[in-house]
Amino acid sequence: MSEIPNISRQLRSLVKSSGELELSIHDSKVMPPGINEVLIKVEASPINPSDLGLLLGYSDITKAKYFGTESNPRVIAPINPKLMPALAARIDKSMPVGNEGAGLVIAAGESDEAQALIGKTVAGLGAPMYSQYRTLKVHQCLEMHPGVSSKQAAACFVNPLTAMGMVETMRLEGFSALAHTAAASNLGQMLQKICLIDNVPLVNIVRKPEQEQILRAIGATHVCDSSKDTFPMDLQNAIAQTQAFVAFDATGGGRLANDILSAMERAANAVSKGFNHYGSTQHKQVYIYGGLERSDTILKRNYGMQWGLGGWLLTPFLQKVGRERTAELRQRVANEVTTTFQSNFSQEVSMAGALAAEALNAYSKQSTGQKYLINPSL
């Protein structure tokens, strides 16, 4: 067992009652692992969209001011006063950040399960992972096969389990195909690979021609570009061919969910027999699981009465399918982490580097292809 360090540097987010966000790096005390816990030297942790809500707290990063030194930075950004009530529960409370990551187990508790992980590379789930060291329960860890690096293991939970959760949800609700927006993202590419392996028809929705090419290169058959004038008909045809009457939307705002439901209804009506005042009898479902588009969700309700729009989150899904199925999904990730579930990162930065103006302005936009990885050991 390695010597346990006393202090761990940790990135923290603070929403002040003055209406400002403060990002900084603090020292925190490292606690020795308990009986069934391990201490991880964190070497890689992704900045996921699901991290940004806590990290950035509805602040306007374009108006941020930068203080401190290169190794010990401090960032202050204003928050729209109208949004402060939504942050009431965290005002003046310094919050640790980072949902997942990976690293080397350097110390462990007394249980056999914990001891077996000493010296192993593991993926870990549970904030704060934007930290040099993190103590986790054994069940929060996923052991990697020999030769898998921390960078390869960094994003083993959120995106892979979400992608598989979409396919599982599709099956549980009686559908045989699905559609997905922001489909050229790391998560979207994982979903495409899963669907190819599992023989599930998938309709990919993207916003740019170059994103379509990314998906075509990994074997996608159905890719619809919303920037094209032909998008409504392209989407209708793809849904008709695949029978994808359930969709997962990462954008959330705007008219995209509405456009998907409309295309589903047109595809269903194309093969229906006769006219029904209440629309087709085919149930159409869109789940919003992200918020890339912050504007209101607009529905025109031109798709009959057999439809649904709701939210989808990973944690409730895992609770629904239970521990045994969750363990099977996790093991699949470990087995395919360098293939099906490979993540691509545009930049690798230190914790201090993550608070630099160039990095903050880049990853706060949540642009496809701009995936940042924090390496707290740098």
Residues 256, 181: Cα–Cα separation, whole Å? 9
Model confidence at 345, in pLDDT bands (50, 70, 90)?
Answer: very high
Q: Does position 306 have pLDDT exceeding 60, yes or no?
A: yes
Cβ(131)–Cβ(101) below 8 Å: no
Domain with CATH 3.90.180.10 in the chain: 7-155+343-374
What mean pLDDT comes out for the span 294-301? 93
Domain 7-155+343-374 listed as CATH 3.40.50.720: no
> E strands of 72-120, at which residues?
73-78, 95-96, 100-108
Residues in a beta bridge with 349: 374
Percent over 70 (pLDDT), the chain = 99
pLDDT value, residue 2: 66
For residue 300, the Cα-to-chain-centroid distance in whole angstroms is 28
pLDDT value, residue 332: 98
Domain with CATH 3.40.50.720 in the chain: 158-316
Q: What is the overall mean pLDDT for the chain?
A: 95
Q: Which pairing describes strands 202-206 and 222-225: parallel, antiparallel, or unpaired? A: parallel
What mean pLDDT comes out for the span 359-364? 95
What mean pLDDT comes out for the span 281-290? 96
Beta-carbon neighbour count of residue 97 at 10 Å? 25
What mean pLDDT comes out for the span 223-234? 98
pLDDT value, residue 1: 55
Residues 369, 346: Cα–Cα separation, whole Å? 7
Q: Does position 104 have pLDDT exceeding 70, yes or no?
A: yes
> E strands of the chain, at which residues?
7-15, 20-29, 37-46, 65-68, 73-78, 95-96, 100-108, 121-125, 133-137, 141-143, 178-181, 202-206, 222-225, 246-249, 252-254, 284-288, 293-297, 307-311, 347-349, 372-374
pTM score, two decimals? 0.93
The arrangement of secondary structure in 158-316, i.e. its CATH architecture, is 3-Layer(aba) Sandwich (3.40)
